[in-house]
Amino acid sequence: MVNNETHIADPGKVKRFWSEKAQDEIMQQRQFLAWMNHPYIEHYYLNQRLTGNVEENWLIYFKKKYIPQPLQIGLTLGCGEGSLERHAIQIRICERFEAFDIADGAIVLAKAEAAKRDLQERIQYEVRDINIIALEEAKYDVIFACMSVHHFQRLEHIFSEISKAIKPGGFLVLNEFVGPSQFQWTNQQLAIINNLLALLPVKYRKYVLFPGHSKDKCRRPTLKEMNSIDPSEAIRSAEIIPLLLRRFQIIERFDYGGTILHILLQDIAGNFDSEKEEDLVILKLLCYVEETLVYHNVLPSDFTFIIAHKKT
């Protein structure tokens, strides 16, 4: 695994991969494939635990607790299709936003969605490679990164630029995967996941997008596999927190698991129907197992929400 700043994963390959992902059909499939997008997990396992309100997510929580009046300008690094900025404008976190992403396809989609909402004058989207980014000094009141920092390789450089670019008293807000780099899951983690998977009835283990096939075992991907698909995926995820702490002081942190659910439910989450009691009972049990193991430090949390100030 590459964990330095001298060799950067092929930016062209990363750009193509995420541009192809920025399609309406693929984005709509997420709720059927990924753990965090399942309605029950989103509302009751995540929102309820963090904010106390199933309808209020981490962004609304940040707004209510820290931003009594709209800030002047915010920045998002790794904005994807731009949903964060549109939501943040709607709930009056900032008057204006700049938002950067390496995937030109995602930026095209983000601009189109902003125009539909008449926000094109308030959100400036640009194609930028975050690994080599240079930011203007003391420009932003808040900088966001949501599920993007684990794709950044030059973390030292990026955190340095973020620290430079935030105004005095400004915020860095992360919602991130900070688990094993390049998804090199631990033996303990995989053993627990596979034991739980084996307990699930076959109907819950069927691949949503591949009828006739079932998910029978989770394994650790090889580095070759990781690099061949998306060389940016979780490239230095395990180093995010230690490197963040060099330049930033965490004022609030909420670790919300994902250590089991992320891997276990990938590609099968849609089999659990939120309207069926028997499906929800099993899903609630899986959530309880993960929450208990993380709470008692049997497993670390692979996902975290952080609000920070730069060190002075």
Q: What is the pTM of this model?
A: 0.91
CA dist., res. 68 & res. 93, Å (int) = 9
Residue 6 domain flag: no
CA dist., res. 115 & res. 148, Å (int) = 24
> Residue length, the chain?
312
Average pLDDT over residues 60-87: 97
Residue 306 domain flag: yes
Per-residue pLDDT tens digits for 242-296: 999 999 999 999 999 999 999 999 999 999 999 999 999 999 999 999 999 999 9
Confidence of residue 205 (pLDDT cuts 50, 70, 90): very high
Residue 46 domain flag: yes
Domain CATH code at residue 42? 3.40.50.150
For the chain, the domain total comes to: 1
Least confident span in 17-26, 60-69, 106-115, 280-289: 17-26
Strand partners, 171: 142
Query: What was the pLDDT predicted at 303?
Result: 98
Question: What is the extent of the structural domain holding 260?
Answer: 11-310
CA dist., res. 286 & res. 99, Å (int) = 36
What mean pLDDT is reported for the chain? Answer: 92
Residue 1 domain flag: no
In this predicted structure, the answer to whether residue 31 has a pLDDT above a threshold of 60 is no
Residue 281 domain flag: yes
Residue 5 domain flag: no
Per-residue pLDDT tens digits for 120-166: 999 999 999 999 999 999 999 999 999 999 999 999 999 999 999 99
